[in-house]
Amino acid sequence: MPQPYKINSIEEYYAAYNKSVQDPEGFWDDIAGYFLWKKKYDQVLEWNFEEPHISFFKNGKLNITENCLDRHLGTLGNKPALIWEPNDPEEHHRVLTYRDLHNKVMQFCHVLANNGVKKGDRVCIYMGMVPELAIAILACARIGAIHSVIFGGFSAQSIADRLIDTHSECVITCDGAFRGNKEVPLKAMVDDALIGCKFVKRVIVLTRTRTPVSMIKGRDVWWEDEIKKVESNGQRDFPAEIMDSEDPLFILYTSGSTGKPKGVVHTTAGFMVWTAYTFANVFQYSGDDIYFCTADIGWITGHSYIVYGPLANGATSLMFEGIPTWPDAGRFWDIVDKYRVNIIYTAPTAIRSLMSYGLGPIQGHRLDSLKVLGSVGEPINEEAWHWYNENIGKKRCPIVDTWWQTETSGIMISTLAGITPAIPSYATLPLPGVQPILVDDHGKEILENEVTGNLCMKFPWPGMIRTTYGDHERCRKTYFTTFPKMYFSGDGAFRDAKGNYRITGRVDDVLNVSGHRIGTAELENAINMHTGVIESAIVGYPHDVKGQGVYAFVIFEGSKEDMNMVRKDILETVTRTIGAIAKPDKIQFVNNLPKTRSGKIMRRILRKIAEGEMHAIGDTTSLLDPAVVTEIIKGKV
């Protein structure tokens, strides 16, 4: 399918941008016209940021899977929709054409229906990166069930939290997942999570690793057996459920500055239009391009830019099960050459990690199929940008540094490949439909350029967060009250003289470790659960590969005989409570934390200590006990 909404020149970009600001309804109405509706909407946009209430394409009826699959069958039925590269390069890869994928999704819809799943139900999915993960997601969407994918690196406790919050009665998982030379026992993790979640009635288990699993009678069924039943019943077509534009499509949990992760809710039509539009424009996908996004579907990047965005455009999306450094650090480049990949979309942390292996793993690779290089998840530092540009893109591929968030569901600020200029370390310009604004700490708009401020949005876009699941007030408080009548991203940004944005990082208590969001409060809660820990404070510090490392200051009053053991136990507690991804890189045991007289921890001071910038600690006289600072500096690890 050609993408009729694709911007082809810088003039077209400015024209589209201006129209999207001057006549947003007309702008989105035109674009929505290229999608398949069961019933057309009667109003393009209705909104206020006070509640907040956001409605795009009001009363429209559609099913996103008809847009991602059915409508391509006539013209693109034999085109690969998904190419799957397994963890082990010796294992056979798989190609699913649009027709194959459509058939498999319909089959799995029957499996879901046969197992009692219906429209509006929540379904948690905890799988590795196998094509069946995409199939499960799309089948949920077709049947009208709300999927909530849980990243395979999360612990049993994190799974349980999400199951409880969504009240999911059905879980889809695998026996295990392959990651490099490791096998992750996914089903066992689900079993642990289910001890406290008796309301879960059905667990559907796909065979992947043949890790031994315990299958509980009456609750657990094998994916393969269920498919066989569908085949022997002769169940084929599965009509797509009629969904309202604003029916929730999925819930994805993300960490914030307080408490437990929140379930970000995205709805059907707005998300579809936004991810499709941004995919086509940012990456300039065309013809039979092979597009490879290295993210995991457990994160928003995978939802928007492995599954929905590419499929809505009839693109070929390559999905990779493994990791960049196994069997060696040339794995990505092997894949690029094997499939003649045209567009690669990866994360700065992966680039920096590969940089550390030198140029050896790149040698012997052609990489001449590449046309566009993408980056997402965190600011890409100049050194990594140039390395990517010179060694991977051979200076002939535009780099798109895409800034966005789980809450925005799609790319907000980015170069359009080869259309708008790229500048190292800048996300550059907003996409049409995006109206960024910088405000000072009092919420006053900063009008001039060459300044830094808090990055907000003053106007809605189709893919924006609608609510936080089960707690609308939390959504309002988190995103719409820091600066009234604006969506606050939690990021800071610098704007240059030409209006290009450079993201400076989080301004709240959220860390970005290897592109993963970690809430400091959530991590402190996990550490404090360890017996003997009285209190803890988490801050980030610059880390060569991860972008940010996690530094934990811990007051420990248990037995101090073997502090190395205590350290290991704390790491184990974090792994159990959240997952290995949140493990601190450094733990310093302290007797006290720097606090204000009102008892608030002064993180600013801890941050400076962790960064090793002792000279920049500044004034400590407002502290309850300034001597604490000297003591902590002495014990720095």
| CB of 377 or CB of 430, closer to ligand PRX | 377
Closest CA to 308 of 261, 267, 349, 262: 267
- The CB-of-517 to ligand PRX minimum distance in angstroms stands at 4
Exactly one of 121, 241, 491, 509 binds ligand PRX (CB under 6 A); which one? Answer: 491
Binding segment for ligand PRX among 41-49, 72-80, 384-392, 489-497 (CB under 6 A)? 489-497
| CA-based R_g, the chain, Å | 24
- For residues 306 and 278, the answer to whether their CB atoms sit within 8 Å is no
| CB of 310 or CB of 490, closer to ligand PRX | 490
Helix or strand run (H / E) with residue 374: strand 372-376
Say whether residue 202 binds ligand PRX (CB under 6 A): no
Binding segment for ligand PRX among 176-184, 196-204, 395-403, 519-527 (CB under 6 A)? 395-403
- For residues 43 and 222, the answer to whether their CB atoms sit within 8 Å is no
| CB of 129 or CB of 427, closer to ligand PRX | 427
| CB of 314 or CB of 549, closer to ligand PRX | 549
Say whether residue 490 binds ligand PRX (CB under 6 A): yes
Residue the block writes with tokens 């499709």: 276
Exactly one of 349, 389, 402, 520 binds ligand PRX (CB under 6 A); which one? Answer: 402
Say whether residue 420 binds ligand PRX (CB under 6 A): no
Amino acid letter, residue 39: K
| CB of 376 or CB of 574, closer to ligand PRX | 376
Instruction: Tell me how far apart the alpha carbons of residues 579 and 118 are, in angstroms, rounded to a whole number.
Output: 31
Interface residues for ligand PRX in 295-324 (CB under 6 A)?
Answer: 300-301
Say whether residue 512 binds ligand PRX (CB under 6 A): yes
Binding segment for ligand PRX among 9-17, 112-120, 397-405, 445-453 (CB under 6 A)? 397-405
Closest CA to 601 of 519, 513, 525, 539: 539
Q: Which two tokens stand for residue 76?
A: 């693109």
- The CB-of-515 to ligand PRX minimum distance in angstroms stands at 6
- The CB-of-512 to ligand PRX minimum distance in angstroms stands at 5
- For residues 566 and 556, the answer to whether their CB atoms sit within 8 Å is yes
Instruction: Tell me how far apart the alpha carbons of residues 196 and 194 are, in angstroms, rounded to a whole number.
Output: 5
Amino acid letter, residue 560: K
List the helix and strand counts (H, then E) for the chain: 20, 30
Between strands 202-206 and 170-174, the pairing is: parallel
Say whether residue 378 binds ligand PRX (CB under 6 A): yes
Say whether residue 401 binds ligand PRX (CB under 6 A): yes
**Exposed/middle/buried for 116, CB within 10 Å: 0-12, 13-18, 19+?**
exposed
| CB of 286 or CB of 452, closer to ligand PRX | 452
- The CB-of-412 to ligand PRX minimum distance in angstroms stands at 9
| CB of 185 or CB of 492, closer to ligand PRX | 492
- The CB-of-5 to ligand PRX minimum distance in angstroms stands at 22
| CB of 108 or CB of 404, closer to ligand PRX | 404
Say whether residue 548 binds ligand PRX (CB under 6 A): no
Binding segment for ligand PRX among 36-44, 265-273, 374-382, 437-445 (CB under 6 A)? 374-382
Binding segment for ligand PRX among 52-60, 141-149, 401-409, 579-587 (CB under 6 A)? 401-409
Exactly one of 126, 345, 403, 469 binds ligand PRX (CB under 6 A); which one? Answer: 403
- The CB-of-486 to ligand PRX minimum distance in angstroms stands at 15
Helix or strand run (H / E) with residue 504: strand 501-506
Neighbours of 636 (CB within 10 A): 13
| CB of 425 or CB of 528, closer to ligand PRX | 425
Between strands 177-179 and 182-184, the pairing is: antiparallel
- The CB-of-346 to ligand PRX minimum distance in angstroms stands at 12
Binding segment for ligand PRX among 67-75, 208-216, 243-251, 398-406 (CB under 6 A)? 398-406
Q: Which two tokens stand for residue 231?
A: 């085949």
Interface residues for ligand PRX in 513-532 (CB under 6 A)?
Answer: 517
Q: What DSSP string runs through 526-553?
A: HHHTSTTEEEEEEEEEEETTTEEEEEEE
Exactly one of 166, 254, 520, 548 binds ligand PRX (CB under 6 A); which one? Answer: 254
Q: Which residue is nearest to ligand PRX (CB)?
A: 406
- The CB-of-491 to ligand PRX minimum distance in angstroms stands at 5
Q: Which two tokens stand for residue 446?
A: 């900063």
Strand order from edge to edge, sheet including 451-457: 436-439, 451-457, 487-495, 501-506
| CB of 324 or CB of 379, closer to ligand PRX | 379
Say whether residue 270 binds ligand PRX (CB under 6 A): no
Say whether residue 406 binds ligand PRX (CB under 6 A): yes
- The CB-of-250 to ligand PRX minimum distance in angstroms stands at 14
Whether the bond between 212 and the residue before it is cis, its omega within 30 degrees of 0, is: no
Say whether residue 506 binds ligand PRX (CB under 6 A): yes
Say whether residue 495 binds ligand PRX (CB under 6 A): no
Instruction: Tell me how far apart the alpha carbons of residues 309 and 118 are, in angstroms, rounded to a whole number.
Output: 25
Neighbours of 614 (CB within 10 A): 11
Binding segment for ligand PRX among 107-115, 132-140, 144-152, 396-404 (CB under 6 A)? 396-404
Say whether residue 493 binds ligand PRX (CB under 6 A): no
| CB of 379 or CB of 519, closer to ligand PRX | 379
Contacts 24+ apart (CB under 8 A), 433-440: 433/20, 433/24, 433/27, 433/28, 433/274, 433/277, 433/461, 433/462, 434/461, 435/21, 435/459, 436/412, 436/493, 436/501, 437/486, 438/493, 438/495, 439/483, 439/486
Say whether residue 350 binds ligand PRX (CB under 6 A): no
- The CB-of-336 to ligand PRX minimum distance in angstroms stands at 21
Closest CA to 83 of 371, 315, 296: 315
Judged by the rule CB under 6 A, the positions of this chain that interact with ligand PRX are: 254, 300-301, 376-379, 401-406, 427, 489-491, 503, 506, 512, 517
